[in-house]
């Protein structure tokens, strides 16, 4: 049986919550231990070329970072986040 890889299991220790913007629009919110590499992957997508600003927020633990990501996605509704946190009602 194939099990989808959970990238969250790959991150240990501190993480960065990143927000990428296209003009005044919040385009995407994510968490990564290496935001530079992760954002470079987003830039290769068709919508990634519109990013012109990035905000970073550091969290001392993975749990704190993912909790902040979930809250940000629910509250801020980024344009290109297609996966919603488990149990989210939109």
Across-strand partners of 25?
Answer: 22
Evaluate if residue 5 carries a pLDDT over 50: no
Residue 3 lies inside a defined structural domain of this protein: no
pLDDT tens digits for range 53-64: 999 999 999 999
Evaluate if residue 90 carries a pLDDT over 70: no
The strand pair at 53-59 and 25-32 is best described as unpaired
Residue 87 lies inside a defined structural domain of this protein: no
CA distance 41 to 47: 11
Residue 6 lies inside a defined structural domain of this protein: no
pTM comes to 0.79
Evaluate if residue 13 carries a pLDDT over 90: no
Across-strand partners of 54?
Answer: 20
Residue 88 lies inside a defined structural domain of this protein: no
The whole domain housing 19 covers 12-76
User: Number of folded domains in the chain?
Assistant: 1
Residue 55 lies inside a defined structural domain of this protein: yes
CA distance 63 to 15: 9
Q: Which tokens go with 45?
A: 């997508």
Decide which of 27 and 83 is more confident: 27
């Amino acid at each position: 049986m194939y099990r989808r890889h959970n990238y969250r299991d790959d991150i240990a220790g501190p993480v960065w919550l990143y927000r990428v913007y296209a003009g005044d629009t919040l385009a995407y919110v994510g968490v990564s231990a290496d935001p530079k590499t992760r954002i470079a992957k987003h830039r290769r997508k068709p919508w990634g070329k519109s990013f012109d600003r990035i905000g970073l927020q550091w969290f001392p633990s993975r749990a704190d970072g993912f909790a902040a990501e979930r809250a940000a996605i629910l509250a801020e509704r980024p344009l290109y986040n297609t996966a919603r946190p488990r149990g989210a009602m939109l």
